[in-house]
A and B are shown apart, each in its own frame.
Chain A
Amino acid sequence: NAGVTQTPKFRILKIGQSMTLQCTQDMNHNYMYWYRQDPGMGLKLIYYSVGAGITDKGEVPNGYNVSRSTTEDFPLRLELAAPSQTSVYFCASSFGGYTEAFFGQGTRLTVV
C-alpha cells in the first residue's frame, strides 16, 4: 500500500527556473494538501483541494500553482524559483473533515 508518494525527494534549482513537484495518492481521498516546512516555522499550507477540479489557496500561495485533474494526483508548480522557496515540501491527503491526514515523505528543495 503506497499511500502518498512524492517525487522527487531532492532537487536543486537555479533562480528563475521552473519545476513541478509530483504527488499521488492511492487511498481515494478527496482532500489533498501541499505544505512547506521551514525551520522553526512549522508547516504552512500552500494550496489544498477538496476534490478533482477544485483547488483553493492556503496561507502561503504566492509563487506556486496547483491543479487537480484526477482524484489521485495533485502536482505543485513553481514557475520562477526564488531563494525564499528553499524549503521542505510535504503533500498530504485525507478523506475530509476531521479525519487523519496522511503525508508523503517530503521533497527537499534548494534554490540557488
Chain B
Amino acid sequence: AQRVTQPEKLLSVFKGAPVELKCNYSYSGSPELFWYVQYSRQRLQLLLRHISRESIKGFTADLNKGETSFHLKKPFAQEEDSAMYYCALSDTGNQFYFGTGTSLTVIP
C-alpha cells in the first residue's frame, strides 16, 4: 500500500513566487514525517522534519493529521531551490517510506 503520495511529478514556479509541494500520507499510527532534497549530482539530504518544527532555507511544513498531509511551503522561491524533493514517512522505526518525488524548477 502506498504510504506516501506526492501528486506532482513536476512543478515549475517563477523566482519570487510562493511554492507548495504536496505530500499526503497513509498511516494509522503516529508517524514521523520528513522532507528530503536532492540537488543535481548530490546525495539526498534532510531538509526538515516534523518533530523539530524548524524552518530550513525558508521552507516550512505543517503536519495536518486531519487531512493526513505534510505539504512543504516557501513564500518566495529562489533559483537555488531547484531540486528533487521527497516526502518520507518513518513508522515505528524500522523503515522509511518515500514518495515518488517532485522535481521543482524555479524559473529566473
Contacts and interface: CB of A to CB of B under 8 A. Distances in A.
A97 B49 contact: no
A49 B6 CA distance: 27
A48 B94 contact: yes
Interface residues of B, number: 24
Contacts of B94: 31, 48, 50, 56, 97
Contacts of B49: 100
Contacts of B70: none
Contact of B43 (A48, A50, A100, A106): A106
A60 interface: no
Interface of A: 31, 33, 35, 40-45, 48, 50, 56, 58, 90, 92, 94, 96-101, 103-106
A100 B92 CA distance: 14
Nearest to A44: B98
A43 B4 CA distance: 11
Interface in B71-108: 86, 88, 90, 92-101
A71 to B, nearest CB: 16
B96 A98 contact: no
Contacts of A35: 98
Interface of B: 6, 9, 32, 34, 42-46, 49, 51, 86, 88, 90, 92-101
B95 A100 contact: no
Contacts of B43: 90, 103-106
B99 to A, nearest CB: 6
B41 to A, nearest CB: 9
A45 B45 contact: no
**Most chain B CB inside 10 Å of its own CB: which residue of A41, A98, A106:** A98
Given A40-B100, A97-B90, A98-B32, A45 B44 contact: no
A42 B8 CA distance: 12
